[in-house]
Amino acid sequence: MKLMIDVMEVIGKNYVSETNTKDLTASAIKGVVSSLDPFSQYMEEKTFKNMKNETDCAYLLLQVRKKLNYTLKAI
């Protein structure tokens, strides 16, 4: 962790243009998580909430179709 802090400080002091610590931190986290496996990804809270809402709606639709005995077809 100290190395990451040191790198961020060097970038902040020496990079050619102004940097945003929050953006750099989010990018670093995304890189760490994506290196775990092809299926892992980091999402910020807003993105996660949007995805969860979409997933919940899709699941609800499937449940309604199932209760109404609709045949589901893969497209």
Total domains in the fold of the chain:
2
CA distance 68 to 5: 56
Q: How many CA atoms lie within 13 A of 7 on its CB side?
A: 7
In the structure encoding, which two tokens stand for residue 57, read together? 């709606």
What letter represents residue 42's amino acid?
A: Y
Could you tell me what percent of the chain has a pLDDT over 70? Answer: 79
Whether residue 11 sits in one domain with residue 29: yes
The whole-model pTM stands at 0.57
Whether residue 3 sits in one domain with residue 35: yes
Whether residue 38 sits in one domain with residue 57: no
Whether residue 34 sits in one domain with residue 51: no
14-42 confidence digits (pLDDT tens): 999 999 999 999 999 999 999 999 999 88
Whether residue 61 sits in one domain with residue 28: no
Its domain, for residue 27, covers: 1-42
Whether residue 35 sits in one domain with residue 1: yes
